[in-house]
Chain A
């Protein structure tokens, strides 16, 4: 992964959260945002079109919520790496369901930029040809 950047799709119904994550990504030269979506239905569609390396997705969203979208994406594209980033991420019931459905991390808001940075580093490392096995 020396040249190729980690591609990220951000899914959140909050414009301020989208803008905040985009600014964190902009400061990280190994990562790039390839798309944004504001609900689960858009996320499912964007994953099919963009095939991002990593999806960062909220749980509580109007129409199709994050857990339903996680289920759909894992069913259609099981190779997709999805981390949930949500205000209800600390709730055991939500976090447990997200992990069961295939999430690789369940981060709680407010966004901890160090933890987000560590997630990007882990996923960049994993995407290297000789990368990790998680």
Chain B
């Protein structure tokens, strides 16, 4: 069992079906207010200015708040407050299912407890962060999940060392990174020798290690990173932080950032994090 969306958990549990989830999402779409609507309601923005931002959004693929700040209508602080307000007042999927009549309120409360219990193993101890990473909202989740996920997915036991500012690029044959863009951008890179990478790629995919060519080693390590970072982003998002994940990459810029030595029971490896 991995980290999962509450609506998917309800479908898998047989509590609701996909059509009922869709109906609840429709209700959320009509009830939940956009950043622009909240800004107008809070008199931070006139309707005319909000319309100007919306019109500009049709030509540029940018979030409303970011564009409104660029156009000089809202300050960074106002946008942060609006995002928090939007998050606090948002109708959530469970509540929407109750409102749509597909779930009893008392049953929702029971299911939220079961869901939290099932998800609890994915929320583990806090990890000490070096100063340069302390303000990054995603890095703690990545580090917290790393050890647990590596064991669960590949049966590799790990101890994560203290992150230190990188002095020179790590020298490992397999190096894969994924980058996360958004309000807490981060490059996450896992590097390892052939033993570590082959074990990880094979166990994570349940394929025969001898069948994996070099490209599949990169690919398997990249897939593990995707799962690690996707799960970390899901937890960050449940705390109101939004971001986007890019596909794995093998061209990595190691200038600045933090290297975490890994003590693993197979081969050698390290984790590199760099705020973007």
Contacts and interface: CB of A to CB of B under 8 A. Distances in A.
Interface size range on B against A: 35 or more
| Interface of B: prevailing SS | helix
Contact of A104 (B18, B205, B233): B18
A118 B8 CA distance: 14
Interface size range on A against B: 35 or more
A87 B219 contact: no
Contacts of B204: 16, 110
Given A16-B205, A109-B227, A93 B22 contact: no
Contact of B8 (A62, A100, A105, A134): A105
B2 A108 contact: yes
A18 to B, nearest CB: 10
Nearest to A106: B8
B62 to A, nearest CB: 16
A96 B28 contact: yes
Nearest to B235: A90
| Interface of A: prevailing SS | mixed
Interface string A97-120: 001100111111110100100100
Most buried by B among A17, A20, A91, A96: A91
B246 interface: yes
Nearest to B223: A14
Nearest to A132: B17
A57 interface: no
Nearest to B8: A106
A93 B242 contact: yes
Contact of B5 (A20, A23, A61, A92): A92
Contacts of A112: 1-2
Nearest to A88: B230
Interface in B1-22: 1-8, 11-12, 17-19, 21-22
A86 interface: yes
A20 B219 contact: no
Nearest to B237: A91
Interface string B188-222: 00000000000001001111000110011001101
B8 A95 contact: yes
30 contacts: A13-B247, A15-B215, A15-B219, A16-B205, A16-B212, A16-B220, A17-B205, A19-B211, A20-B206, A20-B207, A60-B245, A87-B231, A90-B3, A91-B5, A91-B230, A92-B5, A92-B7, A92-B234, A93-B237, A95-B5, A95-B7, A96-B93, A99-B18, A99-B25, A105-B11, A105-B18, A106-B5, A107-B4, A109-B226, A110-B204
Interface of B: 1-8, 11-12, 17-19, 21-22, 25-26, 28-29, 93, 152-153, 201, 204-207, 211-212, 215-216, 219-220, 222-223, 226-227, 229-231, 233-234, 237-238, 242, 245-247
